[in-house]
Amino acid sequence: MTMMTKKLFLLCAAFCITITTFSQKNDFGIYYCVGGEIKLVRKLELDIVANLRTLDNASRISQIFVEPGLTYKLSKFLSVGAGYRFTSFYEDDDTFHPRHRWYSDIKAKFPAGEFKISARIRFQQSFKTYFEDESDKDPYDELRFRLKTLYNIPSFPVNPYLAAELYMPVLQDHEKTIDTRKFMAGAEYNISKKHSVELEYMYQHDFLPKEKSRNILSVNYNFKF
């Protein structure tokens, strides 16, 4: 293992230790995800994600969702996409209720030597079907800004990365301009050219509707066809 690789792993470890100190009373959850990219025609692909999420120290399922979408590559470095998410969400009445979301986004990637830098701007609109007050009947609009840096280690199947994402409410009557922030550190292992697994730690801090923090372990399997 090269000196550069060792330094990057130390950086990831320090990053995880730092962000876990942001809150002393964090919830813990585990996310299980399967994601795929299927090429339909030239420049157009179908994306599909299935996700199961647990909270309360990973003791209960908080939500299960399926998210199909389409991505169109404008160039080697730029693409646009849109999709829909159907979620079965565990609400305050201790029952699962449907939630709906649609999104559109633009993604860019910039190779920088052995590093791969990617960015995404996404607009999403979410709808509830379980209402606790009148405001729950209104759609919730957000902008999401994500930045990720991955280190592609030469001749090594494991690639570590760091990422951050901010959620900003759009046209909502809130005092805060950011409702969620996320910091991620993880590594992806390439089983083959078309299959990979990923292990990620995420610190999530929500400002709205009420302030809370979470530590999340995410286990992902990805495929391409």
pLDDT at 31: 98
**More reliable by pLDDT, 153 or 183:** 183
Residue 11 has pLDDT above 60, yes or no: no
Q: What percent of the chain has pLDDT over 90?
A: 77
User: Over the chain, what is the mean pLDDT?
Assistant: 90
- What residue segments make up the domains of the chain, in order of their start? 3-224
* 50-66: average pLDDT: 97
pLDDT interval class at 210 (50, 70, 90): confident
pLDDT interval class at 209 (50, 70, 90): confident
Burial environment of residue 45 by CB neighbours within 10 A (0 to 12, 13 to 18, 19 or more): buried
Sign of CA dihedral 167, 182, 50, 90: negative
Could you tell me if 185 and 15 are in contact, meaning their C-beta atoms sit under 8 angstroms apart?
yes
Tell me the pTM.
0.87
pLDDT per position as a tens digit, 12-29: 555 555 444 444 467 999
Residue 39 has pLDDT above 80, yes or no: yes
pLDDT per position as a tens digit, 155-186: 888 999 999 999 999 976 767 789 999 999 99
pLDDT at 177: 87
**More reliable by pLDDT, 171 or 126:** 126
Q: Quote the tokens at residue 93.
A: 């009445």
Q: Quote the tokens at residue 151.
A: 């280190």
H or E stretch including 112?
strand 96-112
Q: Which residues contact 159 (CB under 8 A, 6 or more apart)?
A: 150, 151, 152, 153, 187, 188, 190
Could you tell me if 214 and 203 are in contact, meaning their C-beta atoms sit under 8 angstroms apart?
yes
pLDDT at 208: 76
pLDDT at 3: 58
Residue 195 has pLDDT above 50, yes or no: yes
The architecture in CATH of the region 3-224 reads Beta Barrel (2.40)
| Cross-strand partners of 202 | 184, 216
